[in-house]
Copies of this chain bind each other. A is one copy, B any other.
């Protein structure tokens, strides 16, 4: 069905730093900068930039955790770093929609309270994750869209920018390529280093043992009709409860249909599967069985970390129970310290 399916068998990889029990008060942080990396089109320069940015995001988030701040603060801090970096499809580096505009989505969820905030299709919010958090904390709603979400942003004192802030030359060229091949609704950009997803996300476990999850994206290059993907859909792209946190990155439609993030947590909880096994099933079996692909990061309240994906690579990083920064891009460097 998809010419991307051939990747699954060869690249299905599972990172499972299986948590022993959550070392007392020991925090953890996991981030991703999107699946869909194509090895042959990466340059040494992009690789170096991405690794540097992932490290910076981990440092920003982990500092919050070490200072005793809640998991939500670490998630927000890490994602803001990635949103501000043009190498990722979120915030500054968001891809262009069909109409030549950048429409950003994000969501955040607090595992302890299961409170959540999400926004879809905003064009003037510098850091969508901060708006998602404001929706969670300052409104009676969970999900806001478009101009209404922007009105709420203004009233909440969230930093706004002119839409031109999101115009980067590389993303613009990706749209032009996609427009030149309109028969492909996925707008795969071929020789470019990025396919249709470069979403960013973060998961944190704080010293008190609480989890949080967040995801932010520019969506899909050449998306039309104010399409909403999985990133702002609680249960699909983002989910956290007291035991489990997930942020997904992939072909969003399949993540919505499989309620991917929630499915991973429910399998672990109800089937008593190890989190890594639950994530492996949803990402590398269930979603591909429908024709989709992508990856996810997963963090358990016991410190378990998993990051399955079925693409060439997934930008990712983590600081687990060893307290060390780990950064990886390709499948074959799993579990390696950077």
Contact = CB atoms under 8 A, between A and B. Distances in A.
A226 B259 contact: no
A139 B257 contact: no
Given A235-B233, A235-B235, A225 B263 contact: no
A142 B256 contact: yes
A176 interface: no
B266 A152 contact: no
B256 A225 contact: no
Chain A contact residues: over half helix, strand or loop, or mixed?
mixed
Nearest to A184: B140
Contacts of A115: 257
Interface residues of A, number: 46
Contacts of A120: 145, 228
A148 interface: yes
B146 A146 contact: yes
Copies in the complex: 2
Contacts of A139: 225
A234 B230 CA distance: 10
A80 to B, nearest CB: 22
A247 B150 CA distance: 30
Given A234-B256, A235-B236, A227 B143 contact: yes
Nearest to A151: B225
A96 B145 CA distance: 17
A253 B142 contact: yes
A115 B258 CA distance: 9
A239 interface: yes
Given A185-B140, A290-B114, A257 B228 contact: no
A259 B271 contact: no
A295 to B, nearest CB: 19
Contacts of A152: 224-225
A144 B267 contact: no
